[in-house]
């Protein structure tokens, strides 16, 4: 990725971030940086926090993204109950889907990156 520039997307709990890649809001020694987004903002049914590692462009070149403030109705697994959220469960198939608007957002970031 550092050869050509681009964007890497991983779930927010990924161990890549904080060990190999910088946590959101931080830069690495190569000039790459990470941001945090939620796929819910792009149309996913459930909260799906995602970290993006971006290399080959400036943070000011990253396109803006939508924000949603409506209530989240769906969650992932029983952990929602442990957290006191009491959200409806979403199927594994639905959980793994990527909203088309999020895919387009990733492509728009990658198009801005070059080395």
Domain spans, the chain: 6-69+97-112
The confidence score (pLDDT) of residue 92 equals: 85
The confidence score (pLDDT) of residue 31 equals: 96
Sites in the chain below the pLDDT cut of 50 = none
The confidence score (pLDDT) of residue 76 equals: 65
**Residue 18 vs residues 25, 26, 53, 108: alpha-carbon distances, Å:** 11, 10, 11, 25
The confidence score (pLDDT) of residue 44 equals: 94
The confidence score (pLDDT) of residue 3 equals: 87
The confidence score (pLDDT) of residue 95 equals: 87
Q: Is 28 exposed, middle or buried (0-12, 13-18, 19+ CB in 10 A)?
A: middle
pTM of the model: 0.88
């Amino acid at each position: 990725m550092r050869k050509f520039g681009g964007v890497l997307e991983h779930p927010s709990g990924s161990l890549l971030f904080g060990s190999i890649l910088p946590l959101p809001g931080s830069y690495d020694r190569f000039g790459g940086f990470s941001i945090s987004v939620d796929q819910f903002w792009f149309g996913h049914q459930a909260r799906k926090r995602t970290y993006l590692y971006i290399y080959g462009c400036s943070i000011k070149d990253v396109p803006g993204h939508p924000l949603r403030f409506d209530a989240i109705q769906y969650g992932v697994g029983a952990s929602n109950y442990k957290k006191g959220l009491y959200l409806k469960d979403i199927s594994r198939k639905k959980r793994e889907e990527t909203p088309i608007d999020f895919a387009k957002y990733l492509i728009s970031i990658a198009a801005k990156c070059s080395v």
